[in-house]
Chain A
Amino acid sequence: EDKVVQSPLSLVVHEGDTVTLNCSYEVTNFRSLLWYKQEKKAPTFLFMLTSSGIEKKSGRLSSILDKKELFSILNITATQTGDSAIYLCAKESDSWGKLQFGAGTQVVVTP
């Protein structure tokens, strides 16, 4: 079974801090790397990364992929309490959208 490993498993930060989440994966059958945010129930899509070194941004969130070192990072700047969630990283292995998920990183942002 392919492995996707996220770190840290959890962290607590203060509002305004910057957070960096890590995701490493195995190279077998790699098509893309995805990030999701899960607040209460349904994970919501954040980014899909297919090429190395190209940063994707959405507001205060950004993500980048390193296909040589087999990892991705998700950055959240100027964190807000609404950023509190579980952030899931997933590897897509084929062109059909089937995903292998990491365990997630629980982020808690305190006022």
Chain B
Amino acid sequence: DGGITQSPKYLFRKEGQNVTLSCEQNLNHDAMYWYRQDPGQGLRLIYYSQIVNDFQKGDIAEGYSVSREKKESFPLTVTSAQKNPTAFYLCASSIGLATGDNTEAFFGQGTRLTVV
């Protein structure tokens, strides 16, 4: 089955620790995204990558880092510099550069991170 897999589903960390969230897709999509969802605020873009070995900051990149060494994988590290890391994190992918109506993003099941 093709899809996007995020792991773990739930994650607890102590304040001051870095933590890495995994996102893997087997859809052969070029573009991948990380969003953060807080209650009442919808989804906000953290980082995105349109091609391997390249990524761009989104609207709320401070305190986060990413890598895109493989097309299938786009891990997100929440660093100790992120002031309010407790949130629901969603990874998504899309086909990438397209000229037709097929650029919709597909989402993983999310990781709920709680920092105590």
Contacts and interface: CB of A to CB of B under 8 A. Distances in A.
Interface stretch (A14-22, A63-71, A77-85, A99-107): A99-107
Given A101-B44, A103-B40, A103-B41, A42 B90 contact: yes
Interface residues of A, number: 28
Contacts of A42: 90, 107-110
A32 B101 contact: yes
A88 B99 contact: no
A97 B103 contact: yes
Interface string B83-116: 0000000100011111101011111111000000
A50 interface: yes
B109 A97 contact: no
A43 interface: yes
Contact of B42 (A32, A41, A88, A98): A88
Interface in A29-75: 31-32, 34, 36, 41-45, 48, 50
A101 B43 contact: yes
B101 to A, nearest CB: 6
Nearest to B43: A101
A43 B107 contact: yes
How would you classify the secondary structure of chain B's contact residues: helix, strand, loop or mixed? loop
A41 B31 contact: no
Contacts of A34: 104-105
A43 B90 contact: yes
B3 to A, nearest CB: 9
A97 to B, nearest CB: 3
A48 B98 CA distance: 14
A95 B59 contact: no
A90 B104 CA distance: 10
Contact of B48 (A50, A98, A103): A98
A104 B39 CA distance: 10
B85 to A, nearest CB: 19
Contact of B45 (A99, A102, A104): A99
Given A34-B104, A45-B104, A50-B101, A97 B94 contact: yes
Interface of B: 31, 33, 35, 40-45, 48, 50, 59, 90, 94-99, 101, 103-110
